[in-house]
Chain A
Amino acid sequence: MSDLTLQIAASGIEADEAELDTAAQNLSNVSTPGYAQEIVNLANNTPSATTGVGQGVTITSVSEGSSSLYDQLNLVSQGQLGAANESASIQSLAQNAFPEPSTTGLSSQLSQLWTDLSTLATQPSSTAAQGAVVQDASQVAQTLNGSYSQLSDVAQQLSNDFEGEGTTNGGYVGQANQLINQIASLNGSILAGQNGGSNVNSLVDQRREAVDQLGTLLGVRTTTEANGTMTVTSGGIQLVSSTNAVDLQATGSATSGDLSIETTAGDILPAGGQIGAILTGVNTTIPTYQSQLSTVADSLATSLNTLQANGVSASGVPGATSASGAPPYAGAFLPSIFVNNSSATTYTTGAGSAASIAVNPSLLADPSLIATASGSSTAGTATIDPTTAQAMAAVGQSSSGPDDLYQSLVSLVGAQTSAANNDQSSAQALSDSTTAQLSGVEGVDTNQATVSMLSAQQDYQAVAAVINSATTALNALLEAM
């Protein structure tokens, strides 16, 4: 009797210690990322054939309270949240290049230009009015340059985030590669551990955390194989299979709008997550804004340059295509108002024109070289005819002029930023909900763990009492002998 009793009690002590240890482990890892609560699985030992009495308890395993369904849902929502967060931050950075509505933005600078052109139209020979117009034009050009380069800086920063800089910062691509290799190596350890019969729960936790991070970065799907290893794919392309990792690298360039991420075998990834959002920002969003900003610059430069070329200045200098500039006129023509950059003498439209549009230095040096009079005014004769100045001032009221184009661009940026913010809110809500579901299954509930601990403690005390009782009984028997 007593030998069996002690054996049974010993198995109980072991089981209760395992329960206590597990409770301690769970309580210690309440806040550990990727940790799934552990559960001690016990089994009742089959009764002895001779006596029919049970033979105590065996710890069959310590398993994790995980759910692959919730893991998957959470992984998908992490990818979406990563993409939405990155998009919202890109939009917000891009939006900073358009400080509207304000009294200092491009919109009010353009209004100032039109107002000063109206003043010039009332006093065409006033040097003060001519100077004001040229300064306004120069200010507008500088603001266009500034907004364009601000967008370029954002794109550059995003490219750096993506590709990394120097040798120590591998960027998001480097991080993704690190995670892919970590997952493959954890697959190897898990496989080895399971084959050797050891507890691999902590390795699984680490792998879950790495996969979550990779999901945020890239948007991935996973499949857990029968042997416990995990296959990771992104956009249908396998990144990890068993212990094999596929390295990723950046390809293409932001300049040509085809910056992307590919496997070393050359398969382009249809990336999601933060990387996907960065690629969209660098390849599409920012170039679109820059090219639309250039459309504003083009509209401004083309309309004013055309009027300048067709007009005559207050001192009688004709524009190149004005009636009075026709032969036999042989002198110098009026310079273009806007040029592509401060060393150019002409203006050509293009997707990058806002980057360097400038007011012609010769006009800055001599503002009287602005056309104010009609093109048929006599060359060489001073005139206060305001026809061209009036036409220039009217550009501001044109329904397809630079002001309207800029207003449309600001609307577009605002609408896309607002949409990105909304996407971020819904992705956050989705992620909150999947995280809550997941932590409902996998997380540690302090109360539950404490109850397990108390119950194990009581069980332990009870089993200890059994040992005491068995010992007393044995002693009584010995004394009786």
Chain B
Amino acid sequence: MRITDSTLADQLSGDLESQQATITNLNEELSSGNALQQPSDNPVAVADTMSYNRQVAQAASDQTSASYAQSLLGIGNQTANQVINTLQSVNTTVLQALNSGAQNTTSYNALAQQVQGEISTLVGLANTQYGSTAIFSGTAAVAQPYSSSGAYSGNSQAFTIKVGSGAPIACSVPGDQLFGGGTSGVQSVFTTLQNIVTHLQQGPGSASTSSLQSDMTALTANLTQAESAATTLGESTQQVTAASTAASNTSTQVQKILATTESTDVPTVTAALQSDLTTYQAALYAVSQTVPETLAQFLK
């Protein structure tokens, strides 16, 4: 084939242009640290990256929800344990009234006052809040689900938090499942304690003894319910922890994959850039040597 000036010029300038384009791309990849600048760079990897990013965001969101749920459950658990301790202490008080021979009206009144104090403690516990939300109101938005007399204004639906793709996890027990009353089928703990106070105030005697004994049965039922509520909260805590760990593992795994898909492979790109630069310089030298060299050069 005849090689004319424009053949040579077209070919050389075309080669230089394509080398410059490659070098620009590699430079951009190196300086941004991203192998994927735009969807056309690698459509499949870009779609994968978008999907991985979503998984990472979802996992982070799950972890945030899980952490909120854990705080809520932590406070719930702590409060339930305090409720159990308080009820056990009332139990001891009543046993004291029933068993000691040396009781009189004064000591009964003192015990009644003690139980009255426990009622206030329990009302305080029943109105425990996390942030500005009462944690024992079910899903009712009330700041104080329990009145000072122990009347319940919450509902019996558990507040749930969804962590991950599984079913929502109950993150609090509605008040009536911890304190009785409502639709729970167990006498309200406040009624039980108020009865104990009333019966203690009657002073020692066969009537009060019999009443206090039946109060003991009711109190045992309240204790059993509170323990079962604490167990429920404990189980939820385990579920939340499991879901949070799963989210954290997903996040770690996906981020690893993401790093290999999305990030620049620095050694490979650097080597490629080095080699392209060398080729480019060689091409430039070739152009500088070839273009001016014609026969006309030697005509003097």
Contact = CB atoms under 8 A, between A and B. Distances in A.
B57 A115 contact: yes
A107 B7 contact: no
B296 interface: yes
Contacts of A462: none
A386 B39 contact: no
Contacts of A410: 39, 46-47, 50
Contacts of A92: 40
Interface in B72-102: none
B296 to A, nearest CB: 5
Contacts of B299: 450, 454
Contacts of B142: 382
B217 to A, nearest CB: 35
B116 interface: no
B3 A397 contact: no
A455 B84 CA distance: 118
A407 interface: yes
Interface in B122-163: 131, 133, 137, 139-142, 157, 159-162
Contacts of B1: 436-437, 440
B39 A413 contact: yes
Interface string A52-93: 000000000000000000000000000000000000000110
A450 B50 contact: no
A107 B61 CA distance: 15
B40 A108 contact: no
A382 B54 CA distance: 33
B208 interface: no
B5 A393 contact: no
B288 interface: no
Contacts of B28: none
Interface stretch (A119-127, A177-185, A188-196, A267-275): A119-127
B256 interface: no
A406 B211 CA distance: 70
Contacts of A344: none
B245 interface: no
Given A101-B36, A115-B61, A386 B159 contact: yes
B39 A417 contact: yes
Contacts of B14: 428, 432
B244 to A, nearest CB: 13
A396 interface: yes
Contact of A390 (B46, B131, B162, B296): B162
Interface string A392-416: 0110110000010001101101110
Contacts of B249: none
Interface stretch (B63-71, B179-187, B192-200, B277-285): B63-71
Interface size on A, as a range, is 35 or more
A125 B137 CA distance: 14
Interface in A120-140: 121-123, 125-126
A445 B2 contact: yes
Contacts of A430: none
Nearest to A98: B39
Contacts of B268: none
Contacts of B68: 119, 122-123
Contact of B2 (A115, A397, A411, A441): A441
B291 to A, nearest CB: 10
B141 A382 contact: yes
B295 A450 contact: yes
A30 B60 contact: no
Contact of B58 (A98, A100, A396): A396
B4 A444 contact: yes
Contact of B40 (A37, A114, A382, A421): A421
A384 B159 contact: yes
A381 interface: yes
A440 B162 contact: no
Given A114-B58, A436-B10, A397 B295 contact: no
Given A390-B162, A414-B38, A446 B46 contact: no
Nearest to B52: A101
Given A446-B294, A451-B295, A407 B2 contact: no
B186 to A, nearest CB: 24
A411 B43 contact: yes
A443 interface: yes
B10 A432 contact: yes
A362 B72 CA distance: 33
A114 B57 contact: yes
A397 B160 contact: no
B265 interface: no
A384 B43 contact: no
A454 B300 CA distance: 12
Contacts of A377: 139
Contacts of A99: 38
A443 B4 contact: yes
A111 B58 contact: yes
A357 to B, nearest CB: 21
A121 B40 contact: no
Contacts of B103: none
Given A118-B64, A415-B43, A446-B295, A439 B7 contact: yes
B1, B7, B157, B159 — most chain A CB neighbours (10 Å): B7
Contact of A440 (B4, B9, B34, B141): B4
A383 interface: yes
A111 B39 contact: no
Contacts of B296: 446, 450
Given A30-B5, A30-B6, A383-B139, A107 B54 contact: yes
Given A407-B47, A414-B46, A123 B133 contact: yes
Contacts of B64: 115, 118-119
Given A443-B7, A446-B294, A384 B133 contact: yes
Given A100-B50, A111-B53, A397-B165, A418 B140 contact: no
A385 interface: yes
B141 A125 contact: yes
A447 to B, nearest CB: 5
Nearest to B51: A407
A340 to B, nearest CB: 27
A440 B14 CA distance: 16
Contacts of A435: 7, 10
Contact of A436 (B11, B60, B69, B165): B11
6 contacts: A30-B6, A101-B53, A121-B161, A411-B44, A432-B14, A440-B7
Given A118-B65, A125-B141, A413-B39, 12 more contacts: A37-B4, A99-B38, A101-B49, A111-B58, A115-B64, A119-B65, A384-B139, A411-B46, A414-B38, A436-B11, A443-B2, A445-B5
Across the A-B interface, give the 3 residue pairs with the lowest CB-CB distance, nearest first: A414-B39, A443-B4, A414-B43
